[in-house]
Chains A and B, each alone.
Chain A
Amino acid sequence: MRKQVVKLLAALAAVMSIAACSEKLEAGKSCPLLCPIQSDSLRDTTIDAIAVDTSVTGLPPIGLETYLMLASHGDTLDSRAMIRFDTIPQSYSKAAFDSVITTIDTALLVTPIAKPDSLHLPKAPVTIEVYDVDTVGTDTSAAILTSLFRPDRLIGSKTFAPDSLVRDTLFIPINADTVLDRVKNGTRLRVGMRMRSNPGYDLRIGTTQIGLPVTLHIVASKDTAAVPVDVSPLSDTPADEPFLSGPLADFTIVASGQTSVSPTLLSVGGVPSRRTFIHFDVPSRFVDSTTIVRASLLLTQTPNRRIDQHDSVYLYPLAILASPVVTDIPNALQFLSITGQYGLDSLLISPADSGVKEFQVAGLMRTWKGQTLEVSPRSIAITSAVEGSRPVQFDFFSTRAPVGLRPRLRITYVPQTSYGVP
């Protein structure tokens, strides 16, 4: 009996080994002769599917820039960096004991920067001046703040050779007496940075938004046992409104060189920074009844040669996540998907480029299928990777432009077919 069982098991093992053997897939050589199906033909069409398009200036809002734009381009652009130290410690630590600050040996602004590459070094030395810009006036008004950049408020200055900027942190000394005065009186220190450069140059300075703010470094004693005091930016105004005061710890103002938006153009980046809003009205016969394999937003770029015209910068199409309940476009433009979400791919272009540019939005359009506008808003924003921190601006023709230049949407799709039926 045992022999019979062994034989039976051996037979079963043989059967199973045959059944489980894997095969190399070598198909298609008989196509198209015998293929049970040929691929569905792709169709494509270009439609005027832009229902609303506009550019909104002032985004990101003041204080929410990822980098402060310190720019000096003569009459073309002059922007300043503002940093607030509204709370400064009055003591320092020495040998495990706190001591009241009575003197200050050194005061520095430790300034993180986006290290420029060799192609973006200044052609000549640049000077960064630091001013005391504390005021009782409207403390975010560019006009008022700009007026405070005067000689009697100059508290520090340092000139940097071009090669010396190839680093990620600059150290700018400021007047120790001014700082000591604020420490002793328990008052705030608000500084403004200005760059002087000829030819023009711009520098990106870290912010609290990315965790790399300018800090105030105070050495209160020459004693090596004394621990220096490092003060991070903080804004106490507007009072009792931390949602607003928080971002104002550091921000950029534009002293001169603001540009306006042409109604026939959609602008991205620039000074002040702007984002473009585009709302689609795509027929449901495409969204709901086909499979979209490519959706290209076609924007015709017109050159902007104002500043850094040949610098290549990534532009991002981002999904707007705010539901249609948010009808205010500037507000909607602040509720954006993260970069790359929904398969939205960036585009690397320079301001001086021209012609049709394609933003691929198929990944986002697929999420619209079978969804209401409330669930899946059919709007996107186009933003610059360096918005608010570099002056480069990109201009595209809007729906108010002549017909041949207007934004369009090219859709490549697979129509709904009876695939699978032999």
Chain B
Amino acid sequence: MTSRTHFRLALVASAALLAAPALGAQSNLSTQGFGYSTGQFSSRAQGTDGAVAEMDPLSPVNPATISVLSSRILFFQLEPEYRSVTTAGGTDRTTTARYPNVFGAMPIAPNFVVGFGASTLLDRTATTIFNTTQLLSSGDSVPMSTTFRVDGAMDDLRLAAGWAPTKWLRLGLGAHEIVGHNLIALTESFADTETYKPFTQTRVLGFNGPALSGGLQLVSKWVSAAASMRQGGVLHMDASDTVLSAARVPNRYGGSIAFTGLPNSFFAVRTSHDDWSAMNGLGSNQVVGVDSWDTSVGADVAGPQIGEHIVSLRAGFRDRTLPFEAAGQKVKETSFSGGLGTGFAGGRVLADAALIHANRSAPTVGATEHAWTISIGISVQP
């Protein structure tokens, strides 16, 4: 099989995956405010619950890491989430199919790599259906069913450059544009169809705002350390060419340290801080962004060799606070993950898979949320 064949196969697979339906439903803890932060992790990093994200070139976190790429690469990632939310009213179950990361990079000079990619910053995809009885001033009342559907996300487009001036130092810069849309569809229908006419209103909310990021990575035989940050600019929300509000792209900084003393293995710990409160004012007063820490520990170790393939085994634990409050309370998320990865076609095709189980809760809100997420990433070196 030629490299061109691999490339075509990857393109076909990517197109097929993009055509898969995105389903989502329910009111929940995780997609409050402008949505759920997927973390901008690759499938490999997801396998460690994010612990290696600062050192992973396929995770659009630290631009310095792409300098390690020695050839052109395309990467695509799929992450369906199976979620259940339990309240006193019962349990809702739903699926949200996400495509949180697509990325390409190529070396343009020795030890100098540029990359361009898009990743999901906040995913708001959800559909909520609920019934109410509307009381009218005339004394009438009418049962009404509301379907509130949101499709879309706030995405992070990044143009990054990574440079490795020495074997032990990697540096990187990224120019970001936060873009994306939320397609809102509000449908209201009535039990009395003769008197009341149903209607659907649609609206598209658009987002745009710049950001810059920088990072470095220090590499030695036994220990590797990395740090990165993102400085956000003004973030606008618009509808029909009218700017509705403005806030700032949240700043972020984080660091990670890993033990790399065993061949092809990482034992890492990472923490990151996001200033989600910078987005306050972009939405209504009820949307409260929470400055939060996101901490994880994990391992990516060389596992058994099956045939010609060395299988990487991964596991991790993560603890974080989600970006937006639910019912006035911070939402905590803890998760465990496991994953594996291997290469095909002489290492030109890399496949990673991870399984993450997350528990989400808010202290005094009578709701809990559990989610299983499958993350599958495929990278191709054409």
A interface list, Cβ under 8 A from B: 1, 4-5, 7-8, 11-12, 15-16, 18-46, 291-294, 296, 343, 345, 358, 360, 362-363, 366, 410, 412, 414, 418-422
Contacts of A421 in B (CB 8 A): 205, 237, 244-245, 283-284
Contacts of B124 in A (CB 8 A): 422
B94–A42 contact, CB under 8 A?
Answer: no
B327–A294 contact, CB under 8 A?
Answer: no
A36–B25 contact, CB under 8 A?
Answer: no
A36 and B27 in contact (CB under 8 A), knowing A23-B94, A43-B137? Answer: yes
The residue of chain A having its C-beta at the shortest distance from the C-beta of B128 within the complex is A27
CB distance from A154 to the nearest CB of B (A): 51
A410–B138 contact, CB under 8 A?
Answer: yes
In residues 123-141 of chain B, which contact A (Cβ within 8 Å)? 124, 126-132, 134, 136-138, 140
29 contacts between A and B (CB under 8 A): A4-B345, A8-B9, A19-B97, A25-B129, A26-B93, A31-B130, A34-B87, A34-B326, A34-B367, A35-B128, A36-B31, A38-B146, A39-B134, A42-B136, A43-B137, A44-B140, A46-B138, A293-B190, A293-B197, A296-B195, A343-B197, A362-B196, A363-B197, A418-B284, A420-B182, A420-B205, A421-B205, A421-B245, A422-B287
Among candidates B17, B28, B29, B188, residue contacting A414 with C-beta atoms closer than 8 Å: B188
The residue of chain B having its C-beta at the shortest distance from the C-beta of A345 within the complex is B194
Instruction: Report if B144 contacts A (CB, 8 A).
Output: yes
Contacts of B94 in A (CB 8 A): 23, 25-27
Docked Cα-Cα span, A141 to B327, in Å, equals: 79
Sorting the interface of chain B by its residue count into under 10, 10 to 19, 20 to 34 or 35 or more gives 35 or more
Among candidates A35, A42, A362, A419, residue contacting B203 with C-beta atoms closer than 8 Å: A419
The residue of chain B having its C-beta at the shortest distance from the C-beta of A419 within the complex is B186
CB distance from A418 to the nearest CB of B (A): 7
A-B contacts besides A18-B374, A27-B25, 5 pairs, CB < 8 Å: A4-B1, A11-B378, A30-B89, A293-B190, A412-B196
Among candidates A15, A21, A36, A45, residue contacting B137 with C-beta atoms closer than 8 Å: A45
Docked Cα-Cα span, A24 to B144, in Å, equals: 21
A25–B85 contact, CB under 8 A?
Answer: no
A19–B137 contact, CB under 8 A?
Answer: no
Docked Cα-Cα span, A113 to B299, in Å, equals: 91
Contacts of A33 in B (CB 8 A): 27, 87, 89, 327, 365-367
In residues 3-32 of chain B, which contact A (Cβ within 8 Å)? 9, 13, 16-17, 20-21, 23, 25-29, 31-32
B13–A12 contact, CB under 8 A?
Answer: yes
Among candidates A7, A44, A292, residue contacting B344 with C-beta atoms closer than 8 Å: A7
A31 and B128 in contact (CB under 8 A), knowing A15-B78, A345-B194? Answer: yes
CB distance from B124 to the nearest CB of A (A): 8
A34 and B184 in contact (CB under 8 A), knowing A19-B78, A23-B95, A39-B132? Answer: no
The residue of chain B having its C-beta at the shortest distance from the C-beta of A358 within the complex is B195
B203–A420 contact, CB under 8 A?
Answer: yes
The residue of chain B having its C-beta at the shortest distance from the C-beta of A296 within the complex is B195
Among candidates A16, A31, A42, residue contacting B134 with C-beta atoms closer than 8 Å: A42
The CB with the most chain A CB atoms within 10 A, among B34, B132, B194, is that of B132
B1–A5 contact, CB under 8 A?
Answer: yes
The residue of chain A having its C-beta at the shortest distance from the C-beta of B5 within the complex is A5
Docked Cα-Cα span, A412 to B244, in Å, equals: 27
CB distance from A173 to the nearest CB of B (A): 49
CB distance from A74 to the nearest CB of B (A): 40
Contacts of A29 in B (CB 8 A): 26, 85, 87, 89-92
B13–A362 contact, CB under 8 A?
Answer: no
A44–B150 contact, CB under 8 A?
Answer: no
Docked Cα-Cα span, A45 to B146, in Å, equals: 22
Docked Cα-Cα span, A19 to B283, in Å, equals: 31
In residues 44-85 of chain B, which contact A (Cβ within 8 Å)? 78, 80, 85
Instruction: Report if B376 contacts A (CB, 8 A).
Output: yes
The CB with the most chain A CB atoms within 10 A, among B20, B25, B27, is that of B27
A26–B92 contact, CB under 8 A?
Answer: yes
Instruction: Report if B33 contacts A (CB, 8 A).
Output: yes
Contacts of A16 in B (CB 8 A): 16-17, 20
Contacts of B27 in A (CB 8 A): 27-28, 30-31, 33-36
Instruction: Report if B349 contacts A (CB, 8 A).
Output: yes
Map CB proximity to A onto B174-189 as digits: 1 under 8 Å, 0 otherwise: 0000000010101010
Among candidates B32, B142, B239, B378, residue contacting A36 with C-beta atoms closer than 8 Å: B32
The CB with the most chain B CB atoms within 10 A, among A38, A41, A422, is that of A422
A40 and B188 in contact (CB under 8 A), knowing A31-B128, A34-B85? Answer: yes
B136–A20 contact, CB under 8 A?
Answer: no
A44–B136 contact, CB under 8 A?
Answer: yes
Instruction: Report if B351 contacts A (CB, 8 A).
Output: yes
CB distance from B208 to the nearest CB of A (A): 16
Docked Cα-Cα span, A261 to B87, in Å, equals: 64
The residue of chain B having its C-beta at the shortest distance from the C-beta of A15 within the complex is B376
B186–A40 contact, CB under 8 A?
Answer: yes
Contacts of B127 in A (CB 8 A): 25, 27
Docked Cα-Cα span, A391 to B31, in Å, equals: 64
CB distance from A354 to the nearest CB of B (A): 20
B366–A422 contact, CB under 8 A?
Answer: no
Instruction: Report if B148 contacts A (CB, 8 A).
Output: yes
Contacts of A296 in B (CB 8 A): 195
CB distance from B162 to the nearest CB of A (A): 28
CB distance from B341 to the nearest CB of A (A): 12
Docked Cα-Cα span, A1 to B284, in Å, equals: 56
CB distance from B281 to the nearest CB of A (A): 11
CB distance from A292 to the nearest CB of B (A): 8
Instruction: Report if B201 contacts A (CB, 8 A).
Output: yes
CB distance from A411 to the nearest CB of B (A): 11
A28 and B199 in contact (CB under 8 A), knowing A4-B1, A8-B349? Answer: no
A4–B344 contact, CB under 8 A?
Answer: yes
Among candidates B95, B128, B130, B132, residue contacting A21 with C-beta atoms closer than 8 Å: B95
Contacts of B28 in A (CB 8 A): 30, 34
Contacts of B89 in A (CB 8 A): 29-31, 33
The CB with the most chain B CB atoms within 10 A, among A30, A45, A410, is that of A30
A19–B366 contact, CB under 8 A?
Answer: no
Among candidates B97, B197, B203, residue contacting A294 with C-beta atoms closer than 8 Å: B197
A30–B194 contact, CB under 8 A?
Answer: no
Contacts of B287 in A (CB 8 A): 422
Docked Cα-Cα span, A33 to B327, in Å, equals: 7
B131–A420 contact, CB under 8 A?
Answer: no
The CB with the most chain B CB atoms within 10 A, among A12, A19, A363, is that of A19
Map CB proximity to A onto B216-248 as digits: 1 under 8 Å, 0 otherwise: 000000000000000000000101000011000
Docked Cα-Cα span, A34 to B369, in Å, equals: 11
A19 and B129 in contact (CB under 8 A), knowing A25-B25, A291-B201? Answer: no
CB distance from B32 to the nearest CB of A (A): 7
Docked Cα-Cα span, A422 to B25, in Å, equals: 16
A23 and B23 in contact (CB under 8 A), knowing A18-B80, A36-B128? Answer: yes
